[in-house]
Amino acid sequence: MKPWLRQLLVAVICGVVLLSVLSLYSRPSFLMDMANQVWGCF
């Protein structure tokens, strides 16, 4: 595989992962569940 093609593929995959994680933060129910899990550790 060509080096520039591999770098492009890695960049696209990282972008998709970041956008999917950021989209979770727009859901209030996810934020409440995450906060409850964090505070459950204490």
Tens-place pLDDT, residues 7-41: 999 999 999 999 998 998 888 898 899 899 999 98
**Is 0.75 surpassed by the pTM of this model?**
no
User: Which pair of structure tokens corresponds to residue 25?
Assistant: 């933060």
Q: Is 1's pLDDT higher than 80? A: no
Supply the pLDDT for residue 30. 87
CA distance 15 to 11: 6
